[in-house]
Amino acid sequence: MNAVILLSGGTGTRMGSDVPKQYMAAGNRPVISYCLETFEKSPLVDRIMVVAAPEYRDLIRSLIKNEGKFAGFADPGSNRQLSIVSGLNALKGSVKDDDNVIIHDAARPLIKKELIENIINALESSDAVLPVLPMKDTVYEVEGGRVKGNLDRSRIAAGQAPEGFKFGKYLKANEDLLPDRILEISGSMQPAVMCGMDIKCIDGDEENFKITTPADLERFNEIIK
C-alpha cells in the first residue's frame, strides 16, 4: 500500500495574509487543490491523510473527488514534524509497517505523477527516498558573517518534498525522538538519518517548488495561466 500524508496545517506567516498560502486562490481554485488532485489521480496512491486545522476541513472536503482514497484528517502539531507524527498516528491500523508513506506539503502544488512513481519505485530497494536538486552555485561555510571556507558542491544537494518512507521504520524513528528531541527537527528526513535508515536520493523537479512568499504565488499563477 502507498499512503500519502498531505501537510496543510501551516500558517504561512511570510505571505503577509490571514489566509494560509495553501488555501489562497490560484487559477480560481485553492492552491492545495492542485497537489490533492494529482495524488487522487495517481493509480499508485491508495490512501490520502490530510493534516489540517478544523476550520479548513469543509473546504478540503469540497475539493475531494475520490472519496475511496480519502483516509480522513489529522490535527496539526506545534511544528512540522509533530504534524507528520500526527498523520502517521492517524494512519496506524490501516497501514502496515512495510507499506510506503509519502509526505508532501500542500504548498507544493506542482507535484507530478512521474515523481510519485519514482519515489515508490525507489522504496523497493531502500527505507527512505529523498528527491534532491544539485547545487548550481558555489557553496561556502559562513560563521559570524565571515567566510570560513568552501564546501564541496558535488557532495551537497537541496532536498525536496515529497519524501518517501517505509511506514513502520519511519514511525519508530519519530517515536524515538519524543517528547523533546523532536522539537529540534528541521526537516522530515532528519529522523531517518538519525536512526540510520537506508536513504536513497533521486532526481528532484525544479518546478516542484514550495509557495512561501508572494513572489512564489505570483510565479505559480504565471505557470498555470
Whether residue 225 is predicted with pLDDT greater than 90 in this model: the reply is: no
Whether residue 116 is predicted with pLDDT greater than 90 in this model: the reply is: yes
pLDDT at 14: 60
How many residues does this entry show for the chain? 225
- Residue-wise DSSP of 82-145: HHHHHHHHHHBTTB-TTSEEEEEETT-TT--HHHHHHHHHHGGG-SEEEEEEE--S--EEEETT
Find the mean pLDDT for residues 39-65: 97
Distances (CA, A) of 207 to 26, 67, 203, 210: 16, 28, 12, 9
Distance from C-alpha of 76 to C-alpha of 86, rounded to nearest angstrom: 7
CA dihedral 109, 116, 137, 221 (to 10 degrees): -20
Residues ≥6 apart with Cβ < 8 Å to 55: none
Per residue in 187-224, pLDDT (tens digit) is 999 999 999 999 999 999 999 999 999 999 999 999 99
Other beta carbons less than 10 A from residue 121's beta carbon: 13
Backbone angles phi, psi at 102, to 5 degrees: -110, 130
The overall average pLDDT reported for the chain is 94
> Could you tell me the three cell numbers for 99?
507499506
> In 3D, which of 219, 213, 10 has the Cα closest to residue 104?
10
Total H helices, total E strands in the chain: 7, 10
- How close are the terminal C-alpha atoms of the chain, in Å? 35
Per residue in 5-26, pLDDT (tens digit) is 999 987 656 665 788 999 999 9
pTM (two decimals): 0.93
